[in-house]
Each structure stands twice: as C-alpha cells, then as structure tokens.
Amino acid sequence: MDAIIWVLQYAPVFLILISLVITVHELGHYWVGRIFGAAVESFSLGFGRSILEVRDKRGTRWRLNWIPLGGFVKFVGEVQLAQDIDQEIPETVANEAQAIEAQGKAAILHGNEVLVGKPYTDLGPWKRIAVSLGGPFANFVFAAVVFGAIGLTLGVPQSKEVRITEVIAGDPAALAGVKARDVVLEVAGRPVKTASDVTQVTSLSAGEPVQMKLLRGEERLTLVVTPLEKEVVDPALKTRQKMGRVGMGIADVETSLRRLNPAEAVGYGVSRTGDAIGQTFNVLRRLVTGKEGIDKLSGPVGILHLTGGVTEMTMNQEGVDLGQKIVDLIGILLQLAALLSVGVGFFNLLPIPVLDGGAVVMTLAEAAIGKPLPDKVQNVGLTIGLVCLAAFALVVTLQDSLRLPWGS
C-alpha cells in the first residue's frame, strides 16, 4: 500500500519530465521534416484517444491524447494505412488542394483532408536521414539550453578547493599513495571544480585506472587509482546500486554559486551536454566490454524512483523556506530532464530497427543499393528490433523494481 501511495504521489512529476523530453525529441523530427517539405498528418502528445484536437493551416492535426506518456509525429507516407489509399476524394477537398498548388506549394490528399507538403517517401535518402537524426539532435540542444539557462539564472557551484578528508587503509586510494589533506586538481584529465567532478568519474570507472593530479603542500603529484565496484546505499534518495569507489572522503572548501554571463552560459551548456554524452558512451562501452552489467541501466521505474527521491529530499530540507525549496526543486528537476534528454537522444542513435539509428542504417542501405529495401527485409528488421527492445525493457524494469526499497 505504501508503494502505491508513493507512486501516485510522484508519478505526475515523472510524467511531466518524460513527456517533455519525448515531445522535444518528436519536435526535432517534425521541424526537420517541415524544412524539407514533408507533409505531417499529425503530431500527438500522449497516446490513445484524443482529448483535444486542432488542425492548423497546413492540415496537420495537433492532438492531446489521454495517456500522458510522450508523443509521436506521423508524416504522410511514412507508414501507409488502409485509409491512405483507394478512397473517393470529395470535390471540395480536391479544389482545396488545387488552390494550394496554385500558390506554388506542394499539396497532398490524405483521406478527406488536404495537407501542405509531400509524402515522406518522396524525400531523398539523405533528407530522411536528417529527419531521423533531428530527434536526437533536438534532445542534445534541449539539454544544452537547460544547462546554460541554469548557469545563467541559478548559477553553477564552484569551490575554492576540493580536499581529501580521509583515506581508508587498504582501499585503492591508500594503495595509490593518496593522503588526507591532499587537494584534487584534476581527475581523468579534467579540471576539478567540485567534489562531484571526482565522484562522477570514479563511480563509472570500476576496475579501470583513473589518473588524479593532486597538490600536497607545495608539491604536485600524479597518482593512478583503480576504483573497486561496491554496492552503495543512498538513504536520502533511497537508492541502492553498484558503482566504483576508491575509499576516500572528499569535501568542497568554501563552495559558492556563480552566475554565468550569456557567453559563459552557452559554453557551460555545451560542455555539460558533451560530458553527459561522454558518460553515456562510457557506460555503453563498459557494457559491451563486459566491465558493467545491465543492472547499471535504469528504465521508467528507476527514473520514477529517482524523481520521487529528489523531490522528497528537496522538499524536506530543514531551515529552508518554501519558496527556496520550490526554486531548488525546479533547478534539480530541470537538470534531471536535461540528463534524461541526453539519454533518450543517445539511446535513439543506436543502430537498432525501430530506433532512429536503425532508420538511418536502413536508409543508408537504400542509398547504397539505389532502391528501397524489400518490405520483407524491413519487416523482419522491425520485428527483431521490437522483440529486442521489449526484452530489454522487461529486464531493466525488473532490475529497477528489485532495487527499490520495497523490492528488496
């Protein structure tokens, strides 16, 4: 019962986040398709039956559906439906199409409607590849904008120095020669501004050497630490997961928030997005090479749990007024949305049928042979892709559920 109440309490925040990220993704496809003149049958927010529907001057139906889980864009001809062909076209509809074409615009008859544009299949292979990549690109741009906006308005944390507070005997840090009161200058070749810069790298590097540059008094040292994989429990977020640990305490000294100017904010947004893409690629690399298990990944259940955890932790801060709590929560959730957007964009680039990366591969094959792939080949590929994604979703959801407090 407690689990049900918890889910109902935080599910709306999760749905807003996931819907925002997926809507951004689909808008990326939509705008690139529009640039190349593709006719858009509908753009839907959510799935299922339509609650609200508006038709714009280009004939596109903008729909708000009753199941609030993302959305989708449908180009005319992208997937041919029975109602797309062999229908009698009313004279008024045909006249409307002729009027649009008389203005020098392309028009297509779709059922009993006239849409401005041309069928998706009329776009050349390279244009369709651009449309496929438009979704992930929009996700990355969204993340950069969010990170930059946060740096511009709320500021970014920075510390006077990041200092080692303790070193556990026998653990990797001690074996590498790290000592208490050392100051961390760089980790894995990147300057360290806060303690989180260190933990982010070591957490995702279990079993792999990590170079650290330290300042000990007046002496600069370069040491190599190899994190060990350990199960870490976070009481505040109520999470339990395996990650790399080196056996040292680390703390920020004189931390403050610095608001960035517009130029700095742009650079910060791009840099943070690049870091997130790099971390995601690193996780994939470690999965492929067997250095990480699939338990490192999270699906909707894990994201819901994290969303609820950060919301609960932020709103339960002591000595902070309600207004500041809300500001803090908005900032944290926006950063979570940006990271989720990077994950969605990167995942869709994988060369798996039914994903954007798979569509790119099939379109490249079409360009190579000079004609569309046979329907049978496309259908087999899509079927395999769907089965793989369904199996993957099942495994990840099961593992997310077992990591929850009530799943243990």
The C-alpha atoms of residue 45 and residue 23 are separated, in whole angstroms, by 7
Cα–Cα distances in angstroms (integers) from residue 29 to residues 130, 187, 215, in the given order: 9, 38, 49
Residues with catalytic function: 26
Contact, 19 vs 70, CB < 8 A? yes
Q: Which two tokens stand for residue 190?
A: 């990147």
Rounded to the nearest integer, the mean pLDDT of the chain is 86
Number of residues that make up the chain:
408
3-state SS assignment for residue 248: strand
- Tell me the residue type at 234: D
Consecutive H or E run containing 301: helix 300-315
Strands 183-187 and 190-191: antiparallel
The C-alpha atoms of residue 120 and residue 259 are separated, in whole angstroms, by 45
Cα–Cα distances in angstroms (integers) from residue 208 to residues 170, 244, 357, in the given order: 18, 9, 29
pLDDT in tens, 93-103: 444 444 454 44
* pLDDT at residue number 398: 83
* pLDDT at residue number 84: 38
Give the torsion sign (CA, 44, 47, 48, 51).
negative
Strands 210-216 and 219-225: antiparallel
Please give the residue that has the higher pLDDT: either 299 or 54.
54
Put residue 324 in one of left, alpha, beta given phi > 0 → left and psi -120 to 50 → alpha: alpha
List the alpha helices (DSSP H) in 160-258. Answer: 172-176, 195-203
**Is the confidence at residue 301, as pLDDT, over 50?**
yes
Tokens 């982010």 sit at which residue? 200
* pLDDT at residue number 79: 54
Please report which confidence band the pLDDT of residue 404 belongs to, taking 50, 70 and 90 as the band edges. Answer: low
The domains found in the chain, sorted by start residue, are 156-258 (2.30.42.10)
pTM over 0.75: yes
* pLDDT at residue number 177: 96
Which residues have CB under 8 Å from 330's CB, separation 6+?
none
pLDDT in tens, 149-187: 999 999 999 899 999 999 999 999 999 999 999 999 999
pLDDT in tens, 210-268: 999 999 999 999 999 999 998 887 776 667 778 899 999 999 999 888 999 999 999 99
Tokens 């990170």 sit at which residue? 147
Closest to 71 measured CA to CA, from 115, 21, 32, 37 = 21
